[in-house]
Amino acid sequence: MNLLGSLFTSSIGKKLLMAITGLLMIGFVTGHLVGNLQIFLPPDKINGYAHFLQSLGPVLWAIRLFMLACLAIHVWAAVALTLESRAARGPNEYAVKTWINATIASRYMRMSGLVVLAFLLYHLAHFTIGVAQPTTFKSVLPEWTMLEDAREFGFPLAAKDDVVHDVYSMVFLGFANPAVSIFYIIAVGLLAVHLLHGIDSLFQTIGWRSSKWSCTLRKVALVYCIVYFLGNLAIPGAIFTGLVKPAAGTHAAKVLAAAPTSAPISTSASSATQH
């Protein structure tokens, strides 16, 4: 019990909580990106994938709540450590402020973290709850009938002729709004910057970074963050610029073909059918 309590009361414990929750969230956002990149495949892929996740029911919500708890602990620990640092420094500001061997990512860690937090809340409101763009949310769009079986590494996700939510069209219609896409691009860029310093810090906190391979660790972290950013950039960027068009016959293709290029996208459940 004393060990558990020290995690929430000592500075070292808070740093360890930040490292562990950060590591869990890195794994989550990486898997999330891999799943989302299926938007570039035929609609059956991402619709079948989303259908499988939704079929998990309480398990899916348990995962979501667990990750939200990790996020809450991560943010709380960051704020608590910041307040402790300011209290230790005292009321007087430093006469001269300098950063010694500090990267841009580390200097603006707190600022990027706040923007990322706002982005995550908006992302949940957008694609999970449906309050950010209710007219293009999956539950109000015409449903999709699976054209083929959907499998992932041989594991069945959805069967041919299953009627599922059209997540494919929801994503295309959501990112057809340039303001939304630009916000996502800026936010994931800041998230990549946040991760760049966070990965290095968590390895140091856990004790997995040594002087022998710290340089290699930074390079690996940099490559990961660049790939992560480019992957997230590709989805809204390709959609709102029109580089990638929705598949023919999908609800998104019909709506985008009918909408003037300068008009905002607005749909309703009764506006069209799948076929």
pLDDT means over runs of 10, the chain (275 residues) = 69 87 92 94 96 93 92 88 74 50 53 76 87 89 95 90 96 93 91 86 77 81 94 95 93 88 44 39
CA distance 141 to 233: 25
pTM: 0.82
Residue 261's pLDDT is what?
56
State the pLDDT at residue 169. 96
pLDDT of residue 107: 55
- Give residue 98's pLDDT: 47
Helix or strand holding residue 155 (H, E): strand 155-158
Determine the Cα–Cα distance for residues 199 and 23; give it in Å rounded to an integer. Answer: 8
Neighbour count for residue 113 (Cβ, 10 Å): 19
Is 184 strand, coil or helix? helix
Query: What's residue 236's pLDDT?
Result: 95
Predicted local distance difference test score (pLDDT) of residue 96: 47
Contact 202, 22 (CB under 8 A): yes
pLDDT given for residue 35 in this prediction: 93
pLDDT of residue 110: 63
Backbone angles phi, psi at 211, to 5 degrees: -65, -25
The answer as to CATH 3.40.50.410 being correct for domain 2-258 is: no
CA distances (Å), 52 to each of 34, 142, 174, 228, 229, in order? 15, 18, 21, 24, 26
pLDDT of residue 112: 65
What pLDDT sits at residue 275? 39
Residue 147's pLDDT is 95
pLDDT of residue 89: 65
Instruction: Look at residue 226 in the predicted model and tell me its pLDDT.
Output: 95
pLDDT of residue 120: 84
